[in-house]
Copies of this chain bind each other. A is one copy, B any other.
């Protein structure tokens, strides 16, 4: 179970209020790469995990991410403290409040709808959704997802640091950014301490297709414009450039088929007949009608 201590994990010292800056910070509060996504990602993995070591790590880090959510949320609350009170009390003339409300970065929605409170939305006011969480319940996948997620969160914090000149905010963001690096390291160690973690799952890949690279995007008429690198060239790879070898690679006819029952065939035939398009029809259409008697503005009616 969870406990709470009234102190923050990191002290927050904001220089001055700024609702538009607050909304950029929301990206790491209620955005897809933010702390709620991180906390819930690891917390739900912890619940289902059976390996005792990983389970312990997951709840340690989930708990820390909740504490980070509190730090970034407090930054937002501090940056909005002015507009919250002024709007609540109607403390300024309407035109001044209107300006104060709409300083950009969707701060109008944060002020108007959420009263300046930290809302679980991203910086463009879209509500958080658990669709952001990509956990599927296999640790060799989920640890890779966690590694990627931590690297993303690190970079979003870096971008926020790059656009903030408030020293106190920068300081706290630097701590949060660093912890994502530490968490990534933990998840990397946990992944590689599973033997044979690649490929994920139990079923082997089909050797006929596991090492092929299909060169499907062509350069200027020939393939000389196509580039190679370790991702498609070298002893691990067989590169397939020839279009004929890229299609119906199983050697079949490349069609799709299904066996139908007699009843299904009958219904299908009836539907096909009822809804067939006559390829030889000489039809007048709604567009022809709508293009007007004086012939079409944009199309020659013949």
Contact = CB atoms under 8 A, between A and B. Distances in A.
A109 to B, nearest CB: 4
Contacts of A193: 229-231, 277-279, 281, 283
Contacts of A120: 40, 44, 130, 133
A6 B152 contact: no
Contacts of A161: 203
Q: Which of A14, A260, A266, A290 has the most CB of B within 10 A?
A: A290
Given A148-B147, A290-B192, A182 B210 contact: yes
Contacts of A165: 93-95, 98
B114 A135 contact: yes
Given A123-B109, A192-B281, A236-B302, A14 B286 contact: no
A52 to B, nearest CB: 6
Interface string A34-64: 0010001001110110111110110110111
B275 A16 contact: no
A111 to B, nearest CB: 8
A79 B258 contact: yes
A12 to B, nearest CB: 4
Contact of A108 (B105, B139, B190): B105
- Scoring A21, A80, A202 by chain B CB atoms within 10 A of each residue's CB, the highest score goes to A202
Number of chain copies forming the complex: 6
B123 A126 contact: no
Interface string A152-164: 1011101111111
A257 B210 contact: no
B63 A4 contact: yes
A117 B135 contact: yes
A209 B179 contact: yes
A187 B250 contact: no
B48 A77 contact: yes
Contacts of A67: 1-2, 216
A201 B154 contact: yes
Contact of A8 (B158, B236, B255, B291): B255
A70 to B, nearest CB: 6
B70 A1 contact: yes
A277 B3 contact: no
A114 B252 CA distance: 30
Nearest to A66: B2
Nearest to A70: B1
A128 B125 contact: no
A5 to B, nearest CB: 5
Given A57-B232, A114-B137, A270-B85, A154 B14 contact: no
Closest 3 CB pairs of A and B: A115-B137, A7-B254, A11-B252
